[in-house]
Chain A
């Protein structure tokens, strides 16, 4: 390489130069950038209505500014606080109860010796992921139906009372989290299984010579080896804590269970779309996003501190 050329590389490492040299890589990046711009950044312009007295007739530009009025309204509403609390409760229970399930599932699948049996199990647990929430909700409603549902039939056979679970606020979280685990745990285990597959098999052989039992191999080799994966996924999950899957909740909840089932996103949906208060809903959305951002940053910091791995 001539000295002139070398110095030109060192000097002009500007973005433009970079793009010219690695244009293929940038071309591959383009679709994702466009997608983000169109579906994530462009709609952000609409966030301004959170600070306006929005009227469909005056439009976004024509509506007058009202500062933080909508936020004040929200914080004075008991229903908004209830939605925040419910969101946090459902998220917290999911985080604590649902996050470990795919890990345990992956560890168990990994211990299965027979290839045929393992494949069958894997297929069986992956399948629910591909079933839409509408159908899952249908299944749940049918299973729990007070008239002829399997669960109530079983309860009756055991001499217990029939219960209409879906109208009881105290049962909502259990039903929601339980069926979500059933649907997603198998599919979520794939990423842990992949991480387990990446562990050097010689580690297990070495441990075998050292006399480790299967259980010790799981706790002392497998789990520590996939800890970075667990940490990264945990950070991602924590960032999504406030994004409870509202479609599924809307499918399952009823006014009698709002006490435990109404979360921020369903609240936004009802107030904003059904009640046509777009500005209030936007304010709730902005609040949601700001809290979520803080959570991601904190979680990432914690993960970096404890496991030396982070998403960024």
Chain B
């Protein structure tokens, strides 16, 4: 069971502050949609609007083609998993899971069956008679999901469900959530500010900023074609290097100047997009800058500031002009700290963004459906 969800011109104000600003969003039935963005950008509020815990100031929200603006949360066919689990401390795991069902006039046998099914899916059977205080963080999270599953909702809403867990458990639970979605096929709206969670879980990612949608797209689209420097910095880890540059054009050749010593020639295709451009932001991902020259690379020179070995790879921090950039070096390459270094930038994979509006100007932004 799954339902599509659509938000039309949704605005939410708290007093004078506009927290969600004219959001349009269509979520397909069965889709796993992840909302990301910096703290306070309105992710939770958007989710709570869909849940019915907050009322829209204007605009409409529909679930399964039906407008739900005036529907009580329980009638919307949604279930929500909260960041702090929201387990009832005085009830056993079993009673926590069946809480919602017991409120309705469901038969005891049916409730028991539903609990058993949810417990089986989440491997909670041995824990059913424990109190929440006797569970680990990951187990509590699973109980919270169990409570959502038994309601058999058309739409799952997750608000940073994993942020209270340690890194290892988070990875494990991430896999479980992905499996759960594959198995149940419900529509999911999932809020996180962990970009890795977003990348691994999402069918599509929505990047929000100050209450507006900055970009929507599949993880690959967002990674490969960020609409703005903001998105570029948000998706990917370590984030894309962004440093000020100047565009110089002489005859047919277009190039960007990075500091006093470095200049990169751009492909012919860039020329049209950059006519009249002056000061821009140059962007290159750490994995697109190499220590050895390759076919499509051009050299840059800088000074190594710091090397962070991560085992299979190292992060090399290099000063270029006045700016620091991070390079991801594969394998165990020996890099001397404090020494001069030649870097090789893959010019097929560089980005240029406006300095003021931070929109992507090169490569030409793709129009994404």
Contacts and interface: CB of A to CB of B under 8 A. Distances in A.
A200 B86 CA distance: 7
Given A205-B80, A208-B73, A225-B89, 5 more contacts: A202-B86, A210-B74, A211-B74, A211-B104, A212-B100
A212 B79 contact: no
B99 interface: yes
A202 B73 contact: no
Contacts of A227: 90
A108 B122 CA distance: 39
B53 A205 contact: yes
Contacts of A208: 52-53, 72-74
Query: Main SS of the interface on chain A?
Result: helix
A216 to B, nearest CB: 6
Contacts of A220: 88, 99
19 contacts: A202-B86, A205-B82, A206-B86, A206-B147, A207-B99, A209-B53, A209-B73, A209-B79, A210-B74, A210-B100, A210-B151, A211-B72, A211-B100, A212-B100, A212-B103, A220-B88, A221-B88, A225-B89, A225-B90
A203 interface: yes
Interface residues of A, number: 17
Nearest to B79: A209
A208 B78 CA distance: 11
A224 interface: yes
Interface of A: 200, 202-203, 205-212, 216, 220-221, 224-225, 227
B100 A205 contact: no
A202 B103 CA distance: 18
B82 A206 contact: yes
B51 to A, nearest CB: 6
Contact of B99 (A202, A205, A210, A225): A210
Interface in B156-174: none
Contacts of A206: 80, 82, 86, 147
A288 B14 CA distance: 59
Interface in B62-114: 72-75, 78-80, 82, 84, 86, 88-91, 99-100, 103-104
Contacts, number: 57
Contacts of B84: 200, 202
A17 B243 CA distance: 60
A210 B97 CA distance: 11
Nearest to B131: A308
Residues of B in contact with A, size category: 20 to 34
B90 A209 contact: no
Contact of A224 (B72, B86, B90, B151): B90
The residue among A203, A210, A224 with the most chain B CB atoms within 10 A of its own CB is: A210
Contacts of B103: 207, 210-212, 216
Interface of B: 51-53, 72-75, 78-80, 82, 84, 86, 88-91, 99-100, 103-104, 147, 151
A203 to B, nearest CB: 5
A203 B73 contact: no
Give me the 3 closest cross-chain CB pairs, A-B, nearest first: A211-B74, A210-B100, A202-B86
A210 B99 CA distance: 8
Nearest to A206: B86
The residue among A202, A209, A212 with the most chain B CB atoms within 10 A of its own CB is: A209
Contacts of B52: 208-209
A221 B87 CA distance: 11
A143 B90 CA distance: 46
Nearest to A227: B90
B89 to A, nearest CB: 7
A221 B91 CA distance: 10
Contacts of B100: 207, 209-212
Contacts of A224: 88, 90-91
A209 B89 contact: no
A274 B242 CA distance: 91
A205 B87 CA distance: 11
Nearest to B81: A206
A227 B80 CA distance: 27
A185 to B, nearest CB: 25
Contact of B86 (A203, A211, A212, A225): A203
A212 B80 CA distance: 14
Nearest to A202: B86
A211 B75 CA distance: 8
B90 A205 contact: no
Contact of B78 (A203, A209, A221): A209
Contacts of B80: 205-206, 209
Given A216-B103, A221-B88, A225-B89, A211 B73 contact: yes
A136 B163 CA distance: 55
A202 B132 CA distance: 15
